[in-house]
Homo-oligomer: A and B are copies of this chain.
Amino acid sequence: MRELLPFRVEARDGNARAGTLQTPRGVVQTPIFMPVGTVGTVKSLMPDELEALGAQIILANTYHLYLRPGEPVLEQHGGLHRMMGWDRPILTDSGGYQFFSLRHLARFDRDGVTFQSHVDGSRHRFTPERVIDIQRTIGSDVMMVLDHCSELPAPRAALERAMATTTDWALRSLRHVVERPAERDGAVFAILQGGTEHDLRVRHRDELCAHEFDGFAVGGLSVGEAPAVMYDVLETAVPGMPQERPRYLMGVGRPEDLVAGIERGVDMFDCVMPTRNARNGGTFTRTGRLNMRNGRHRTDERPIDERCGCPACRRFTRSYILHLFRTNEMLGPRLVTLHNLHYYLDLVTEARAAIAAGRFASWAAETRSGWAAAGESS
């Protein structure tokens, strides 16, 4: 039997959980949000800024890092941590989602995926074992198995085929780690598929959860379905997962999705929204969203959020940030990125404290009413 990634649930409130993941590169307190550093940089930020924001773990991407900088460069650096100057844990996505979003460049078969690089059109092949090996080269602390994500809506038969492939590949990935262990292996998380068909989600969950994965992820959501539909799937699939294993909702989402996910027992999240929206001036705050490119901030001397202690809000006015966006200055996206990540990390920290105090429901209600109160009108 494998020695599983140490994870302890410290408090429960309804389905919501507060836990601790013990990785060799440090502790991760859940629920947690993982800033996205696709190619080995959380856009515009230095690693010490991420640390100062309280980021405990970040996400990087196997597909993207395989293409650039490539395995030889990663290997030479002894992995991504040293290359990017980040000492805390890194979770790596497998590439499964990229083969979904770049599906015109990818062809699935029983054994793996043949694809063309979106960078230069060159041809490559990923198998479940290959993807584990690349993640080992990256030095990943949490490795995701290669999965097959379906476009929605999909016929049940297509969802079932993708599930069968995903299960087979998950087991192959696990077997590869068990039978050919590396000197130092990251944890292995399986990925649950099944689209928005509740019975398929349950069946796939039970299939995967019978095996010794370190954690279980919910994939194939936030691909166009309504939030309520996604929440229903989580409600069906997540609470029945093993209590003693971490659960990760992949690529989701808005602050309201994080609260809804935590409510349904999710422990880990990642999403490009706080960093991607930041590059267009989109901010997240306690009172909803604000766009820093909006001309009405022209003479507004308030910070993005008056109650926020992030490096942007401590020092700069909305007026200045609007000016930076109008003049296409890099500092604009950087300030909003700092603010948004601070907000997301703060949100999950608050959720954790509320769970520990047994007042998650009232915290969630207050948080939601804060967003509803104002938003763009603040």
Chain A residues near B (Cβ < 8 Å)? 39-41, 43-47, 68-69, 72-73, 76-77, 83-85, 298-299, 301, 311, 315-317, 319-320, 322-324, 326-327, 329-331, 333-334
Contact = CB atoms under 8 A, between A and B. Distances in A.
Contacts of A77: 301, 317, 319-320
A316 B76 contact: no
B330 A69 contact: no
**Copies of this protein, total:** 2
A330 B43 contact: yes
Given A68-B327, A69-B319, 4 more contacts: A39-B327, A69-B298, A73-B323, A83-B320
B316 A44 contact: no
A301 to B, nearest CB: 7
A327 B64 CA distance: 10
Nearest to A42: B331
A142 to B, nearest CB: 22
B323 A69 contact: yes
Contacts of A41: 324, 329, 331
List the 6 closest A-B pairs by CB distance, nearest first.
A44-B330, A69-B323, A85-B315, A39-B327, A41-B331, A41-B329
Contact of A39 (B46, B83, B329, B333): B329
Contacts of A68: 323, 326-327
Contacts of A316: 85
Given A39-B323, A45-B331, A68-B326, A299 B85 contact: no
A46 B320 contact: no
Given A327-B39, A330-B330, A320 B44 contact: no
Contacts of A45: 331
A18 B309 CA distance: 42
B43 A299 contact: no
A188 to B, nearest CB: 27
A58 B72 CA distance: 42
Contacts of A322: 69
A243 B162 CA distance: 81
Nearest to A45: B331
A44 B319 contact: no
B76 A319 contact: yes
A46 B327 CA distance: 16
A317 B83 contact: yes
Given A316-B85, A320-B84, A330 B334 contact: yes
A119 to B, nearest CB: 9
Contacts of A44: 330-331, 334
A320 B76 CA distance: 11
A85 to B, nearest CB: 4
Contacts of A324: 41
B40 A73 contact: no
Contacts of A46: 311, 331, 334
A45 to B, nearest CB: 7
14 contacts: A40-B320, A41-B331, A44-B330, A44-B331, A46-B311, A46-B331, A47-B315, A68-B326, A76-B301, A77-B301, A83-B317, A85-B315, A330-B330, A330-B333
Contacts of A330: 43-44, 330, 333-334
A72 to B, nearest CB: 7
Contacts of A323: 39-40, 68-69, 73, 83
A315 B83 CA distance: 9
A83 B319 contact: yes
